[in-house]
Structures are given as structure tokens and as C-alpha cells.
Structure 1
Amino acid sequence: MSGQPDCLRLEGVRITRGGEVLLGADFAVAPGTATTVMGPSGSGKSTLLAFLAGFLDPAFMAEGRVRLGDDDLTRLPPQARRLGLMFQDDLLFPHLDVAGNLLFALPAAVRGRAARRSAVDAALGEVGLEGFGDRDPATLSGGQRARVALMRTLIARPRALLLDEPFSRLDRSLRGQVRDLVFGVARARRLPVLLVTHDEEDAAAAGGPVVSLRAM
């Protein structure tokens, strides 16, 4: 694996269920850019992300390949793909404080209590949450929770980001702020981003190509 940023490529992907074609996809997402997948409910947006991430429901059949840089991810287990996922819900663990949530995702290669805590502090500082490590997630605002969720995803050192409508449950006043943060950090880290959404403002904020899926 090279140290250069990786391109995420979907090559001849076709997903079927019961012999019926649900969707087809064939495109690439360059490092530091975001491609948006849009379509109505039932068009297969989330199914496509599940295939990319490696947890496609056995009820579906898939053809084609998923590549990240020089690596073929298609048959790798989810944990080996190094893809960061963000969902509609932030999914923070309520029984852990903010630091504990980030430590959970920190790679085991970062060893030693001091080094691991330093990595957590740096991650929180990157999103303006210095000193929040001891906070209970229940005490955070929606925007703060979204920031912690983003850094928990990024602290795992993913090679690409998959976003499944992560802004849809934020108040409109927060959506623009969190969108700018997510896409800005992804650009700075040169990560390819695949966003699934039905919101045209989200797609516009992503600033990249839009792939439209149609329900079949």
C-alpha cells in the first residue's frame, strides 16, 4: 500500500434481489473530493453503501469490484476495508465519556496511555472541543455530538468516508456548519467521500459529481 491518497472506484457494480436488478454503479471518487448518490426511497442508496462497507444483506446478490487505491476490497471483511462510516444517528456510546468514545475507535497500533490520550486530545482540538474528553455525551448539543461522531470516525484512520445521510437529523441552523466541517476535514486529509442523500443542499455542499439512482 502506498502512502499516497487513494481513489475509491466502483467497477461494474450491479446489485440484484430475487433476480431483479436493483442498481448499477460504475464510477470513481478521487482523493479529497465527494461524490453524491441521490435517489428516492427504494432506489438502493443505502444498499450500495452496505455493499461497499462489506455488510450487504444476504438477500441481495452483488457483482463487480470495489477498489481503493491498488487494493481490491470486494471480498475483504468489513474491518479490513478501512472505510469510515457516518450515519443519520451519531451512535455515540452512552456508557462512555467523550474520550472513551474516541479511544474505542483508536487503532491498537497507538500504544501507551499517554500516546492514546494525546491522540484523543488532538482529535478534539481539531474540531474545537478542547477539554471535552470527560463530558457525558448526553450533555452535548447536537452540533457537538456530530463533531465527536466525526472525529470518532476519523481517529480510526480510514482511507475513505461513506456518509449515509449524516446531516438529516440536525437542525437546519447546524446542518451547514457540520457539512462544512465534514467536507473540509475530508478535503484536508485527501479522503475520497461517498455521500448518500436525498437532500439537494447536501449534494451542493459536497461540491462534486452527483450519481442518480432510480427505483426499479
Structure 2
Amino acid sequence: MKNKTLTLDALCVRKGKQSLISVDTEVAPGTITTIMGPSGIGKSLLLAAIAGVLPEAFTYSGAVYYDGAELTSLPAHKRQLGILFQDPLLFEHMNVVQNIMFGMSKNESSKLSRTNALLDEVGLKGYGQKAVQALSGGQQARVALLRTLASSPRAVLLDEPFSKLDMQTRQQTRRWVFDTIRHQGVPCIMVTHDKADAHDAQGRVITVAHSEKEKDQQC
């Protein structure tokens, strides 16, 4: 079996001289590693550094590897990582189906049938032609999740992906997302405040904290 592991090699995010967050870990294919900690500590920035979209106000040290190859020297679009932030960030000029198909391979056949099947799996059967602005916040979140997973990424980065869903939808969508990640055999890193998210992920949990002592030791 090929090693499709996602590795964070002492990856540390800084603002100026202040270190915010540092993580050193390996995420095996089909597993979900959860990062938990207080707001403002830099969890979302860590995901941005992995994906190659870290804002210019921040810097990082360390490296990211996938399958043994370093990604940190590559631009974001060549890293082929699927990242989903808290806000859906859907394309408002596209309907639901078009948003999901946007992430699929250009050469992929049967895009429409696959997209409709995905919508059915998350309880959105018949919503394909709707404008995304007409959807509820929870429905938009599910479409954004589908778009991320439909792109067949090397790895998936989730930033509070279920936070805007009601409890019942959250449980159903979370189960579907985790099952899909395991089935696709891709490594996943998830940032969340919800212990239920971490429990259902059934993977390693990394807890980061806000203390001056820990900041000094991070990088």
C-alpha cells in the first residue's frame, strides 16, 4: 500500500516574532486528526499555512509533506489540498450543481449524475438547480462540503466545518463526511471546538493552549 501520509514537520505559524501555534504530526490515509484549542490561537492559520494561503501578515517555519514529497515550496493550486473554512464561500453566479461540479476533474465523465447522487446523500435531492443564495446556512455548508470532497483532494483540511448546522443535520453531515474521507482514503486535519466532532472523527486529538510558556517552546 502506498504511503499517502500528510506530515507536518514542526510547522509553526508566527506573527512577527510571536509564535502562535506549532504542530508536528503525521496523518495517515483515511484518518482524521483533530486540533482543538481556544479561539485566536491560530488554528485556522495553521490550516492556511498547510494549504499555501497564509495571509502576508503571518509567516511560518517547518514543512508540509505528502507521500514523502515536500509541498511547502509549491503554490496553493499545485498542492491539491481540499480546504473548507467556516464560511461556505460558494460561487453566487453558479447554481448548486455548478458549484459542486466546479471542483471535479475536467475529464471526469458523468459529472451530473455523480453530483446528483452526492446531493441525495446529504439530504439535498432536487436542489441542484437552485441558486445558492436561496439556501439556508446549513444547506450552503453541505454544498460547500460536497464541492471540497468532489474535487478528490490529496488531503482534506476542515475548519469548523459543521459549526453552522443544526444538531440533527450536524450529526448526519459529520457522519457522511467522515465516512467519505475514510472511504476515499485521504488524510484529514480538522479544527473544531466541538468535542463531539473530535469523538466521531475517531482519530488523534491535538490540544493547543494559550500560555506564554508554551509559546516560547513552540518554535
Please name the residue that 1:174 is paired with: 169
- Report if aligned partners of 2:11, 2:24 keep a CA contact under 8 Å in 1: yes
Q: Percent identity among equivalent residues?
A: 46
Which stretch of the first structure deviates more once superposed, 144-153 or 197-206?
Answer: 144-153
Shift of 1:172: 2.0
Which stretch of the first structure deviates more once superposed, 163-172 or 143-152?
Answer: 143-152
Please name the residue that 1:62 is paired with: 60
Please name the residue that 2:119 is paired with: 124
Q: Structure 2 CA distance, aligned partners of 1:34 and 1:145?
A: 23
1:19-72 C-alpha deviation (Å, 9 max, x unpaired): 222222110111111111111122110110110010112222211110111321
Match among 140, 143, 165 for residue 160 of structure 2: 165
What letter corresponds to residue 172 of structure 1 in structure 2?
Answer: M
What letter corresponds to residue 196 of structure 1 in structure 2?
Answer: V
- Report if aligned partners of 2:33, 2:188 keep a CA contact under 8 Å in 1: yes
Match among 28, 31, 34 for residue 33 of structure 1: 31
- Report if aligned partners of 2:7, 2:66 keep a CA contact under 8 Å in 1: yes
Please name the residue that 2:92 is paired with: 94
- Report if aligned partners of 1:31, 1:190 keep a CA contact under 8 Å in 2: yes
Shift of 1:14: 2.1
Matches within 5 A, 1:65-214: 65-110=63-108, 115-127=110-122, 129-214=124-209
Decide whether aligned partners of structure 1 residues 42 and 118 sit closer, same or farther in structure 2, where only a CA change above 3 A counts.
same
Which stretch of the first structure deviates more once superposed, 185-194 or 89-98?
Answer: 89-98
What are the ranges of 5 or more consecutive residues in structure 2 without an aligned counterpart? none
Decide whether aligned partners of structure 1 residues 188 and 82 sit closer, same or farther in structure 2, where only a CA change above 3 A counts.
same
What letter corresponds to residue 33 of structure 1 in structure 2?
Answer: T
Aligned residues: 211
Q: Structure 2 CA distance, aligned partners of 1:119 and 1:17?
A: 43
